[in-house]
Amino acid sequence: MQSQLPFYPDQASNFAPSVDSLMTFLILVSVFFSLAITAAIVIFFFKFHRKSKNEIGVPIHGDMRLEVLWIVVPAILSLAMFGWGAAVYVDFRHAPLDTLDIYVVGKQWMWKVQQPNGRREINELHVPVGRDVKLVLASEDVIHDFFVPAFRVKMDVVPGHYNTMWFRPTKAGHYEFFCSQYCGTNHAVMGGWVTVMEPSEYAAWLSGSTGGDANPVTTGEKLFAEKACSTCHLSNGTGRAPSLNGVYGGTVRLADGSTVTADEAYIRESILLSNAKIVAGYQPLMPSFQGQLTEEDIMSLTAYIKSLQSQPVPATGAGVIAPGKK
Amino acid sequence: MSTTPPKPPGYQLPEEHYLNATYGIRSWLLTTDHKRIALLYLASVTFFFFIGGIFATMIRIHLLTPAGYLVTPETYNKLFTMHGVAMIFFFLIPSIPAVLGNFLIPLMIGAKDVAFPKLNLLSWYIYITGGCFVLYSFATGGLDTGWTFYTPLSSVYSNSAVTPAVIGIFINGFSSILTGLNFVVTIHTMRAPGMTWFRLPLFVWAQYSTSIIFILGTPVIAITLLLAGLERMFHLGFFNPALGGDPILFQHLFWFYSHPAVYIMILPAMGVISEIIPTFARKPIFGYTFIAASSIAIAVIGFFVWAHHMFLTGESTYAALAFSLLSYLVAIPSAVKVFNWTSTLYKGSISYDTPMLYALGFIGLFLIGGLTGLFLACLGLDIHIHDTYFVVAHFHYIMVGGAVMGYVGGLHFWWPKITGKLYPEFLARLAAVILFVGFNLTFFPQFILGYLGMPRRYHNYPPEFQVLNVMSTAGASILALGYLLPMIYLTWSMRYGKVAGRNPWPATGLEWTTASPPLTENFDVTPVVDWEPYDYKNRPDLGLQTPTAPTLAPAHGDD
């Protein structure tokens, strides 16, 4: 569906056409019922207007068939709205596998963005057209919300949680983004612009990165040594803590027998609340790093751990269950 | 608008009634008469409506230009927060239950008073105490957290007077709880002989449903705000992640009450509409049992939809699916009411007295408010319209278009009973039309603003949104006129209005069988009810033409 309707914003992502079609469906249903009820009221109002001062109405107490009709018909329409809406939402909440991951940190009252190669932006976001982009969202203080009307997507940015959102830009251009969760005094100026570029331009822009922006993987590797993570998490699996090689995206068996998928949220929790989930076969020795790392530190560490995904997983002492070995 | 023979005992006020039975300020401040307590509430909720209205006016003036016209960002944030707190906790929630409910429930069921008259007075004092704390917060630093008090903004980061405000709302909660308790016991135990459950006016059913929410829901908001206050004062980590708390927990607890609170606001208004429509169509309401049962259904299902405010907080996809489905479920009993009200008009004897204009206006506005609720319950659409002006428009259609229209319509309908006087009919009809037009002009453009992407709670906005904002502000000025008019002519009518008589419309409820204004004891003798609700055909005492000889009426729902 094209954005020909006058009251629709730009359509610039994969979600925009599906959200707009859904909107059109709901508008049509609503207009139909509004007009029908309004017409009935207006017609009855004039047709059955009181003719004489003492006239009374015809005593009709109800009609079971009508009651059933106006319970069943709205129920069916509601189910249709629910189902269609749910399909779009489930798609939005489950990012595809191969995404371009960009880290976004909200704080009163600015957005800090870091591209995969470490290039930093403030209140700006550059993305290539046609690529699935995943934003990993963190907050340093209160709840914010990253909202791009032209993409028809938003997601709360919650302190203490990682939320993610994804979209695929479909049209190059500049689109405004907003903070849409009230966050204090300058909430209304906490916004910026998304620049959607052709992939080649994006690559050129990305490589034009200034020397000051360290690669998050390098920064994370440095932190990994500085914070003494490397003294226990030996890559060959002989340390007091499991090797992190290949952990990201894999399945981890925990001491209580359950398993968990090692995503950003799991890594973050394991750093901050280190005893929340203990890997099977290990002791709860790791100190909590709550309050000692900034959101950006955590993101760098996560980026480093993600970079270990391709490293060889040791036969023993691995944090991750080898594929096919459950 | 005078009535017809047989003339009720005189078009003059009864010699003694609840307003002149005793005199002096003590007789009001220490009264246990439910009717006088209702008037105490009327004065106090009007005061808070006025305060909230002033804040709203300043908000709309400020938004005339994209850069903001009137105040600083700090002040703007305080304005919308204080507007919400004053209107929701101190006007909308108590308005219909504590004013009209207090006045009418005993009269409608044929009782002398509520079950616990002293507790009733205590409720008002608790309300006033809570109100004083909140006014203190407004006056000493104001409040800038949004009426939703989301943590950790409210519990850690805000520099405004949050603590007195949450204490005030905590205290005020007990007023709601006690009022709800009083109404439930009253309705269960004090119905006059013959007043069976299915002869109760639908207004009483609506108040009963509302009271259930008061009792079950209010303790949750009270304790939630207390926890936020404790975190702020003593740094206990409930919601602040830096202290090991979870900000999302606050939202679950907050909406567990605050979504049902929406039904606290709208259900009583639906009750008012269910009284007005059969009265001015002079026929039984269509589908009495369905309207009564839908009130209970809304009250019950309303407790299971809270997390639809949180689809984009990162809650689990499965939770979102369940809460979306349940939200659609709660829409059905609301739709049932609209269809039944509309059908009641069929083959009626319809007049365009002022209360009827409000009732028909209510149906139209509630219809838009309810239908746009379906948009927000729709998971895929909510991704885009959540936290935009679409939401602002939607809930104003429900709360102002629905609840306030119902309240003002109800005030007009029962004004002759409350004061014994008639208001000037022409002015009243004019005000009803002005309100309808002004309301739509104010809030309809906000749906479009929301879909275009304007987030709520913004003190400035991109210039392309200006036209719609100016329309909205223009509408708000018409709306303000629409509210000022009734305030003026209703006050005027208390002294100068024509004497109303017992039953000016005439209506079928028990409250209309006693004097206007009623005696302190409500009835000379305990009434005995031997008629069905809204049964004009078998009520020769109303002095209306009956098409055939009176027969024993079939009960409601003879279908």
Which residue reads 């206050």 in tokens? B229
Which residue reads 């039975």 in tokens? B21
SS3 A197: strand
> Which residues does chain A have within 8 Å of residue B324's beta carbon, measured at their own beta carbons?
82, 85-86, 89
- Tell me how many helices (H) and strands (E) chain A has: 6, 12
Cβ–Cβ gap A93/B331 under 8 Å: no
The pLDDT score that the predictor gives to residue B67 is 92
Cβ–Cβ gap A70/B336 under 8 Å: yes
- Tell me how many helices (H) and strands (E) chain B has: 17, 2
Q: What is the mean pLDDT of residues A307-325?
A: 74
> Quick one: angle between helices B34-62 and B405-419, nearest 10?
140
How many CA atoms lie less than 13 Å away from A114 in the CB half-sphere?
A: 24
> In the beta sheet, which residues pair with residue B350?
A49
Q: How far is CA A191 from CA A111, B71, B313, B492, in A?
A: 7, 21, 19, 51
Q: What is the mean pLDDT of residues A72-78?
A: 95
The pLDDT score that the predictor gives to residue B548 is 54
More confident residue, A262 or B201: B201
From edge to edge, which strands make up the β-sheet containing A124-128?
A124-128, A192-197, A173-179, A144-148, A153-157
Distance CA B430, CA B354 (A): 9
The pLDDT of residue A14 is above 70 = yes
Cβ–Cβ gap B283/A180 under 8 Å: no
Cβ–Cβ gap B456/A152 under 8 Å: no
How many Cβ atoms are within 10 Å of B463's Cβ, its own excluded?
10
Residue in chain A closest to B344 (alpha carbons) equals A60
pLDDT band at B550 (very low <50, low <70, confident <90, very high): very low
Q: How far is CA B165 from CA A215, B80, B162, B470, in A?
A: 47, 15, 5, 32
Q: For the segment A79-122, what is each residue's pLDDT rounded down to a tens digit?
A: 999 999 999 999 999 999 889 999 999 999 999 999 988 888 99
Q: What is the mean pLDDT of residues B52-63?
A: 96
How many Cβ atoms are within 10 Å of B519's Cβ, its own excluded?
16
Cβ–Cβ gap A49/B346 under 8 Å: no
pLDDT band at A213 (very low <50, low <70, confident <90, very high): low
Distance CA B327, CA B382 (A): 13
Distance CA A50, CA A16 (A): 51
Please, where are the H alpha helices in B386-501? 389-396, 405-419, 425-452, 466-496
- State the average pLDDT for chain B: 92
CB < 8 Å from B in window 8-37 of A? 8-9, 15, 18-19, 22-23, 26, 29-30, 33-34, 37
Residue in chain B closest to A293 (alpha carbons) equals B242
Cβ–Cβ gap B461/A188 under 8 Å: yes
The pLDDT of residue A2 is above 50 = no
Shortest Cα–Cα distance, B166 to chain A (Å): 18
The pLDDT of residue A274 is above 60 = yes
Poorest-confidence range of A256-265, B198-207, B438-447?
A256-265
Q: Are strands A144-148 and A153-157 parallel, antiparallel or unpaired?
A: antiparallel
Whats the size of chain B, residue-wise? 559
Cβ–Cβ gap A49/B146 under 8 Å: no
> Which residues does chain A have within 8 Å of residue B545's beta carbon, measured at their own beta carbons?
52, 54-56
Distance CA B499, CA B475 (A): 35
Share of chain A above pLDDT 70, in %: 95
Poorest-confidence range of A306-320, B57-71, B183-197, B321-335?
A306-320
Residue in chain B closest to A18 (alpha carbons) equals B380
Q: Catalogue all structural domains in chain A, each as residue range(s) with its CATH number.
A: 15-50+58-93 (1.10.287.90), 100-207 (2.60.40.420), 216-310 (1.10.760.10)
Q: What is the mean pLDDT of residues B474-501?
A: 94
Closest by alpha carbon to B465, among B184, B16, B65? B65
- Spatial contact of A134 and A101, defined as CB atoms under 8 Å apart: yes
The pLDDT of residue A325 is above 60 = no
The pLDDT score that the predictor gives to residue A257 is 85
Residue in chain B closest to A166 (alpha carbons) equals B383
> Which residues does chain B have within 8 Å of residue A19's beta carbon, measured at their own beta carbons?
380-381, 383-384
Who among A26, A60, A153 is closest to B383 (CB)?
Answer: A153
Q: Catalogue all structural domains in chain B, each as residue range(s) with its CATH number.
A: 25-539 (1.20.210.10)
A16 contacts: CB under 8 Å, gap ≥ 6: A3, A10, A150, A151, A152, A170
Closest by alpha carbon to B460, among A195, A185, A151? A185
The pLDDT of residue B2 is above 80 = no
Q: Are strands A173-179 and A192-197 parallel, antiparallel or unpaired?
A: antiparallel
A295 touches chain B (CB under 8 A): no
- Spatial contact of A298 and A288, defined as CB atoms under 8 Å apart: no
- Spatial contact of B485 and A41, defined as CB atoms under 8 Å apart: no
Closest by alpha carbon to B227, among B185, B178, B169, B310? B169
> Which residues does chain B have within 8 Å of residue A147's beta carbon, measured at their own beta carbons?
387, 453, 455
The pLDDT of residue A7 is above 80 = no
E strands, chain A, are 100-107, 110-114, 120-122, 124-128, 133-139, 144-148, 153-157, 163-167, 173-179, 192-197, 251-253, 259-261
Q: For the segment B361-393, what is each residue's pLDDT rounded down to a tens digit?
A: 999 999 999 999 999 999 999 999 999 999 999
Cβ–Cβ gap B153/A183 under 8 Å: yes
Q: For the segment B66-75, what is each residue's pLDDT rounded down to a tens digit?
A: 998 899 999 9
Closest by alpha carbon to B397, among B454, B443, B342? B443
Both tokens assigned to B193: 């002989």
> In the beta sheet, which residues pair with residue A126?
A195
Distance CA B490, CA B428 (A): 9
> In the beta sheet, which residues pair with residue A13?
A169
> Which residues does chain A have within 8 Å of residue B342's beta carbon, measured at their own beta carbons?
37, 40-41, 44
- State the average pLDDT for chain A: 88
Residue in chain B closest to A23 (alpha carbons) equals B381
Distance CA A138, CA A136 (A): 7
Both tokens assigned to B256: 């567990």
Distance CA A151, CA A167 (A): 7
Cβ–Cβ gap A71/B336 under 8 Å: yes
Who among B339, B350, B459 is closest to A44 (CB)?
Answer: B350
Cβ–Cβ gap B387/A147 under 8 Å: yes
Distance CA B87, CA B57 (A): 13
Mutate to test the interface with B, among A54, A186, A298 (most CBs of B within 10 A): A54
CB < 8 Å from B in window 171-200 of A? 176, 178-189
A48 touches chain B (CB under 8 A): yes
Share of chain B above pLDDT 70, in %: 96
> In the beta sheet, which residues pair with residue A194?
A125, A175
How many Å from the N-terminal Cα to the C-terminal Cα in chain A? 46
ipTM: 0.90
Cβ–Cβ gap A56/B382 under 8 Å: no
The pLDDT of residue A210 is above 80 = no
Which residue reads 């509004």 in tokens? A34
> Which residues does chain B have within 8 Å of residue A54's beta carbon, measured at their own beta carbons?
4, 543-545
B118, with CB counted inside 10 A (0-12, 13-18, 19+), is exposed
Amino acid at A83: G
Cβ–Cβ gap A141/B286 under 8 Å: no
The pLDDT of residue A6 is above 60 = no
- Spatial contact of A319 and A243, defined as CB atoms under 8 Å apart: yes
Q: What is the pTM of this model?
A: 0.89
Mutate to test the interface with B, among A11, A47, A58 (most CBs of B within 10 A): A58
More confident residue, A12 or A252: A12
The pLDDT score that the predictor gives to residue B557 is 44
Distance CA A27, CA A24 (A): 5
Both tokens assigned to A256: 């209580």
Cβ–Cβ gap A180/B335 under 8 Å: no
The pLDDT score that the predictor gives to residue A290 is 79
Which residue reads 């859904």 in tokens? A22
State the DSSP string of A119-156: -EEESEEEEETTS-EEEEEEESSS-EEEEEGGGTEEEE
Who among B317, B375, B457 is closest to A93 (CB)?
Answer: B317
The pLDDT score that the predictor gives to residue A255 is 86
The pLDDT score that the predictor gives to residue A146 is 97
Distance CA A205, CA A278 (A): 42
Maximum Cα interatomic distance, chain A, rounded to a whole number of Å: 98
The pLDDT of residue B549 is above 70 = no
Cβ–Cβ gap B457/A185 under 8 Å: no
More confident residue, A173 or A282: A173
Q: For the segment B163-177, what is each residue's pLDDT rounded down to a tens digit?
A: 999 999 999 999 999
Give the angle B449-B359-B93 at the CA atoms, nearest 5°: 70
Q: What is the mean pLDDT of residues B289-294?
A: 94
pLDDT band at B41 (very low <50, low <70, confident <90, very high): very high
B154, with CB counted inside 10 A (0-12, 13-18, 19+), is buried
B285 contacts: CB under 8 Å, gap ≥ 6: B202, B274, B277, B278, B291, B340, B341, B344, B533, B534
pLDDT band at A248 (very low <50, low <70, confident <90, very high): confident
How many Å from the N-terminal Cα to the C-terminal Cα in chain B? 35
The pLDDT score that the predictor gives to residue B3 is 44
Specify the DSSP class assigned to residue B513: G
SS3 A273: coil
What are residue A93's phi and psi, to 5 degrees? -80, -10
The pLDDT score that the predictor gives to residue A75 is 95
A28, with CB counted inside 10 A (0-12, 13-18, 19+), is exposed
Q: For the segment B245-266, what is each residue's pLDDT rounded down to a tens digit?
A: 999 999 999 999 999 999 999 9
Peptide bond into B152 cis (omega under 30): yes
A73 touches chain B (CB under 8 A): no
